[in-house]
Amino acid sequence: MTMYGIYTINIKVLFICLIILGEFSNLSLQKSGSSSKTATTRSPPKKSTTKKKQNDGLIPPPVVVEEQTCYNKSSGAAIRCLPEFVNAAFRRPVIASNTCGERWKTDSTNTGTEYCIQTGPPHSGILGDYLSGNEQKNCLVCNSRDPSRAHPPSYMTDFNQRENLTWWQSETMLEGINYPTTINLTLNLGKTYDVTYIKLTFQSPKPESFVIYKRTHENSSWIPYQYYSASCMLTFGLPPKKYPDFDTEAICSEDFSDLTPLHGSEVAFGTLDWRPGAVTFEMRSDLQDWVTASEIRIQLVRMNTFGDEMFGQPAVLRTYFYAISDLAVGGRCHCNGHANKCTKQGGEYKNETQCECEHNTIGRDCDMCHPAYNDAPWQPAGVIDAHSCKTCVCNGFAKNCTFNRELYERTGHGSVCIDCAGNRGGPNCERCQVGFYRLPESEGECLPCSCDPIGSENIQCATNGECRCKPGVVGDKCDKCAPYHYNFGLNGCTRCSCYEPGSLQPPQCNSKTGQCNCKTFAEGQNCDKCRPGFFNLDPMNPDGCTKCFCYGHASTCQSAPNYYYNPIKSSFSQGVDGWRGVNQTGHEVPLYSDTGSYIYVQASPGQDLTFEASPRYLGDRTLSYNQFLTFILILRAPANVNRMYTHADVAIEGSNGVKVGAVIYGGVPQTIPSEEPLTFRFRLNEQSWSPTLSFLEFMRLLSNVTAIRIHATFGVDNAVSFLGEITLGHSTPSTGLFPIGNVETCLPCPQGYYGERCEYCAFGYRRQPSFGGPFASCVPCHCHNHSLSCDVETGKCACQHHTTGDNCERCLPGYYGQAHQGTPDDCQKCPCPAGVSCTQLQLPQGHVVCLNCPAGYTGDRCEYCDDGYFGDPEGLITGVRRPCELCSCSGNIDPNTIGNCNTTTGHCLRCTRNTYGVYCEKCLPGHWGDALLDIKCHACNCHPKGTQRHSDNSLLQCNLQTGQCPCKSNVQGRQCDTCENGYWNLNSDQGCETCKCNPMGAYNISCFVNTGQCYCKPGVTGENCDRCLPNHYGFSSEGCSPCNCDQYGSLDVQCDIVTGQCPCKENFMGQMCDLCEENKYRDGFECPNCPSCYREVQKRVNRYRRDLNVLQNAILTLNSSQTFNSLREDKKLTSELDALASNLNNLKIDLQSKD
């Protein structure tokens, strides 16, 4: 910002002093920090490139400058920093809008730009030579492709050596470089600098007019620093001035606009020269901005000439061009007093120069505070106060902050902390963020309120974390509607408007839509109406509405007016009131009345009794639908005896045999009948009974109730059951206890129906099916337009127009036509004899045929004899009229067959019953009987194998009176078709053979006549019944017995055919191998050994057996001796021996059982 003491010195005086010394110092006019380089000399006398002489005397000694610091060395306090003074243009790129020798880029044939060195004005003595171009010039070629002849813009900011000059050069006036064509030279300093001066060294004559511009930032506007012109008003429209009137005025100066010198002239511009406020620079922000620049532009507007260019001679025009050998910008890196040096660093600025910031500042120009040091406003460092950035005040919950001017002016601290930890908020993280809370005793993190932003009055909660909910909203976080509220939104929740009669209890609605929870048959947002097909929204109806009955003919209805609740009751004050008691078989049992409020029954052992309703409760009870059957029941029975409840403890039965029931145990409330009087209620609708019927089926049941039964004793012997206070809800028109809306009026009834409940068929309609009652459909009468009405039950039409039939579908007898065509003239009188009906055929058109000719007559007009009759009624065949007579064929024709006789002569043509002859009066050969009698003629049907034959092998004739055929030997029967008993094989053609049945194995001597198989006894097989079936044994007069070998203990299912002993597996024994051997036991399919302890038992058993055998042998010996015979006479001894034998036998049986 400051130039520190040099601003009051005229910069021109400084330049004169430096010229006297012969060299600019490294701190000002030289390009600082550079080393020497090899340059190409392009002065006119020299034609080749030479290297700079290595003369150390040309390089000034280094200036030792004490390193600047940003902190007081003794106190450590921050002080203003001062970067070193440098040539900011050194080796910075320059962009020129025109450079010589570059036309080859657009024209490949171009070899460069020829130019000539200006040596002075033309001499008057040789003006002719000059105008003719004969004057001697030092001309060269500029070519950017040849480094030795190139003059790029970079030569303006390279290391400048007077012995080896380099310069930038434009094209000549010959290429059109002349006013108003301008050339811009733009120098980018790489960052902002506090510019002290700008110096130009021209290798050509100075321009007549040019401008110096500056730009502070890349996107800012170009601001003129100074105009130079010998024609200020003409060229720039500005008056020429020596000094500016105000500090940031760009004046037009006539200095540096003369033509001489032709080479090496310098132009120096001081940014604060002659500025009125330069002495108060530290306090002038406008002047500080004035000297700050990041880019410099030199605009070359008009060349200085000798005026000879007007002749347009190429040689002259080639001498006029712009050439600049040096462009220097003296200044300090712009760091706002917060850095003492600038360096090239990577990162955001891509190796561009930037300040090394101190005082807790950052930025390329140290133009902002570090994020952790924003408690005070950023300010450039001053002489008195360095304005170091202050640490953020965040109470340890954040590192960084931003600066807030209003907060700073109000509190002295401008920190607005960023990203406070622990859910903290506030400028200094001193409080919880909005939406968080901290318990009073806690100093740590803040806890989230989590208040629903929609349901809460504010997202901020109380210190205990409780959210403040909007109306109708509940929940710890105000995130849901309260019961009976919906439409969770910015305005809270709306209270539900559920209509109580149509809503489920307790009333509730959908928390999003507000749709109330309707009863089954109610609908609407508020459940305030019945669903289509339902009526009578009733608070006492658990379904809400009642289904339209209308006998199933209509689906729209409403409550009928003038109906009242008029229940059917039995209080039994006058007796049993028509109720009965019945047992489980349906037989009536005594029913008693206590002449008070109850009737009762008492069950005998084995009885299960039931109460059966009075006829007053029966019949059409459709007007009791959805009402209650209520009664009081008392059961006196032992408490520890099980009761037999059924699904038909309370039963309703209809005339169609349908029966529904309900278990009394499941009544409302659920109770068990006891000695206490309990009230039971059962609603009369299809959902309350089982089996569950459809609505119409249940109404059909109620339309004709034939029985109502209530279980009384529940299968408990000697139980006494009391029944009282019976009420069946019912509605009646006109009178009752109070109006009721459970009866519908159906509107409108469909076509064909009428009545309050569409229970009647309209005029011209009938029931379908017939006698189906009000549930049956009404269909139009089908009378073919010959009647307007019909019987409502049968559908029989009251026919007109000479028609008849149930549907007037045919003409009356004596009339013909098509009655179904539906016109009054459908039936016409028949053209037949009196009493004879007719019909009209379709083909041929209009042909009429008589239908009921007299018996025996036929033909369209009854002019022929019918089949089975003969004669010639009209003489059409014989010429003689003869009436038709019944043919006489002795009854031996088939009356169902046509053509039995000739219709003219009466001769029989189709004799039946085995007869023949003119009148079928004879039996056919091979038949017997009498054709004229009832027995008629029958075929002999002699069996060809059992009947004797003629010598020609034909069968002999049977007896004509009896039909008996002559049989072969051992053959019998009228037709000789069976063998005599004990014979078979009738088909042998030799008579019958003997059966040969085994007398022991067969039941008798008979056998099957075709196979000879005898009738075998059980277990016996063989054609002659002479052996046992497989798996049988013991062939005898009783047959054979089955082996029954045990499938697990036998080796084979076939036993010994004599003894029946089965072949046993190892360890098995017994005739059927179904027992285990001694000391073995049965284990499923095997007989393993018994445990070892049984061996001692086995030993003792064997010893007993040996003793028994010895004793038995002694008895046998004694029995055979004479001594024993004599001892038999001793009765006492005999008795003792018998007792001993009995004991031994018992012992043997006992031992066997132990085995």
DSSP symbols for 695-745: HHHHHHHHTTEEEEEEE-STT-TT-EEEEEEEEE--EEES-SSSB---SEE
> Is residue 396 very low, low, confident or very high in pLDDT (cuts 50, 70, 90)?
confident
What is the rounded average pLDDT of the residues 251-257? 92
| CA distances from residue 474 to 173, 470, 480, 482, 510 in whole angstroms, order as listed | 90, 8, 6, 5, 15
Q: What is the CATH number of the domain that holds 516?
A: 2.170.300.10
pLDDT at residue 13, rounded to an integer:
34
Look up tokens 């400028």; give the residue: 427
The DSSP-derived string for 807-874 is TS-EEPTTEEE-GGG-STTSEEE-SSSTT--EEE-TTTTT-EEE--PPTTEESTTS-EEPTTEEEETT
Give the model confidence (pLDDT) of 1031-1070 as tens digits: 999 999 899 999 999 988 999 999 999 899 999 998 999 9
| Beta bridge pairs of residue 529 | 523
Look up tokens 């009752």; give the residue: 736
Residue 95 belongs to a domain: yes
| Beta bridge pairs of residue 610 | 582, 711
**223 and 310 in a common domain:** yes
Whether the per-residue pLDDT at 989 is higher than 70: the answer is yes
Give the model confidence (pLDDT) of 615-632 as tens digits: 999 999 999 999 999 999
3-state secondary structure of 153: helix
The DSSP-derived string for 641-671 is SPP---TTSEEEEETTS-EEEE-GGG-BS--
Number of domain units in the chain: 5
* DSSP state for residue 5 in the 8-state scheme: S
Whether residue 180 is preceded by a cis peptide bond, meaning omega within 30 degrees of 0, is: yes
Whether the per-residue pLDDT at 801 is higher than 90: the answer is yes
Whether the per-residue pLDDT at 1128 is higher than 60: the answer is no
Residue 159 belongs to a domain: yes
Question: Can you give the three-state secondary structure of 424-456, one letter per residue?
Answer: EECCCCCEECCCEECCCCCCCCCEECCCCCCCE
Give the model confidence (pLDDT) of 364-376 as tens digits: 899 999 999 999 9
End-of-domain residue from the set 729, 754, 780: 729
Q: Which long-range contacts (CB under 8 A, 24 or more apart) does 39-47 make?
A: 39/158, 39/159, 39/161, 39/164, 39/165, 39/166, 40/147, 40/148, 40/164, 40/166, 41/163, 41/164, 41/165, 42/140, 42/149, 42/151, 42/165, 42/166, 42/167, 43/165, 44/117, 44/138, 44/140, 45/138
Element (H, E) at 1108: helix 1094-1120
Q: What is the CATH number of the domain that holds 654?
A: 2.60.120
Angle at CA of residue 309, ends 306 and 311, nearest 5°: 125
What dihedral do alpha carbons 700, 701, 703, 709 form, nearest 10°? 180
Residue 290 belongs to a domain: yes
pLDDT at residue 1119, rounded to an integer:
67
| pTM score above 0.85 | no
521: left (phi over 0), alpha (psi -120 to 50) or beta: alpha
Which of 372-381, 417-426, 595-604 has the highest mean predicted lDDT (pLDDT)? 372-381
Structural domain boundaries enclosing 99: 11-35+78-333
Residue 624 belongs to a domain: yes
- Contact call for residues 966 and 976 (beta carbons, < 8 A): yes
| CA 1119 centroid distance within chain | 103
End-of-domain residue from the set 660, 695, 729: 729
Whether the per-residue pLDDT at 651 is higher than 80: the answer is yes
Question: 1020-1046 burial by CB neighbour count: b if 16+ within 10 A, else e?
Answer: bbbbbbbbbeebbbbbeeebbbbbbbb
**1086 and 1065 in a common domain:** yes
Angle at CA of residue 852, ends 851 and 853, nearest 5°: 105
3-state secondary structure of 11: helix
**1021 and 1097 in a common domain:** no
Q: What is the CATH number of the domain that holds 1009?
A: 2.10.25.10
Residue 682 belongs to a domain: yes
Q: Which residues, 6+ apart, have CB-to-CB distance to 600 below 8 Å?
A: 591, 592, 593, 594, 720, 721, 722, 723
| CA 115 centroid distance within chain | 88
Q: What is the CATH number of the domain that holds 276?
A: 2.60.120.260
Element (H, E) at 678: strand 678-683
Residue 90 belongs to a domain: yes
pLDDT at residue 643, rounded to an integer:
82
Q: How far apart are CA 305 and CA 320, in angstroms?
A: 7
Residue 1059 belongs to a domain: yes
Percent of the residues in the chain that have a pLDDT greater than 90, as a whole number? 52
Whether the per-residue pLDDT at 6 is higher than 60: the answer is no
End-of-domain residue from the set 546, 578, 613: 546
3-state secondary structure of 978: strand
Q: How far apart, in Å, do the first and last CA atoms of the chain sit?
A: 133
pLDDT at residue 957, rounded to an integer:
84
**186 and 134 in a common domain:** yes
**175 and 302 in a common domain:** yes
Tokens of 778: 């009404």
- Contact call for residues 68 and 83 (beta carbons, < 8 A): yes
Tokens of 610: 């039931």
| CA 491 centroid distance within chain | 33
**1067 and 1024 in a common domain:** no
Q: How far apart are CA 895 and CA 865, in angstroms?
A: 15
pLDDT at residue 37, rounded to an integer:
32
**507 and 600 in a common domain:** no
Tokens of 615: 């006829």
Nearest residue to 832 (alpha-carbon basis) of 859, 870, 806, 809: 859
**321 and 213 in a common domain:** yes
**169 and 207 in a common domain:** yes
What is the rounded average pLDDT of the residues 730-759? 92
- Contact call for residues 860 and 890 (beta carbons, < 8 A): no
pLDDT at residue 1097, rounded to an integer:
78
> Is residue 1133 very low, low, confident or very high in pLDDT (cuts 50, 70, 90)?
low
Q: How far apart are CA 394 and CA 312, in angstroms?
A: 77
| Beta bridge pairs of residue 269 | 198
Q: How far apart are CA 589 and CA 134, in angstroms?
A: 165
Q: How far apart are CA 589 and CA 843, in angstroms?
A: 76
What is the rounded average pLDDT of the residues 784-794? 93
Write down the number of H helices and E strands in the chain.
10, 76
**1067 and 1014 in a common domain:** no
Residues in the chain: 1155
Give the model confidence (pLDDT) of 10-53 as tens digits: 333 333 333 333 333 333 333 333 333 333 333 333 333 333 33
Q: Which long-range contacts (CB under 8 A, 24 or more apart) does 218-224 make?
A: 218/294, 218/295, 222/297, 223/250, 224/250
Residue 345 belongs to a domain: no
- Contact call for residues 838 and 816 (beta carbons, < 8 A): yes
**279 and 227 in a common domain:** yes
- Contact call for residues 436 and 423 (beta carbons, < 8 A): yes
Tokens of 183: 């050339």
Element (H, E) at 627: none
Q: How far apart are CA 4 and CA 82, in angstroms?
A: 10
Whether the per-residue pLDDT at 220 is higher than 70: the answer is yes
Query: Which of 212-221, 921-930, 1113-1122 bottoms out in mean pLDDT, i.e. has the lowest?
Result: 1113-1122
**533 and 624 in a common domain:** no
| Beta bridge pairs of residue 302 | 209
Whether the per-residue pLDDT at 758 is higher than 50: the answer is yes
Strands 563-565 and 731-733: antiparallel
- Contact call for residues 794 and 803 (beta carbons, < 8 A): no
pLDDT at residue 27, rounded to an integer:
32
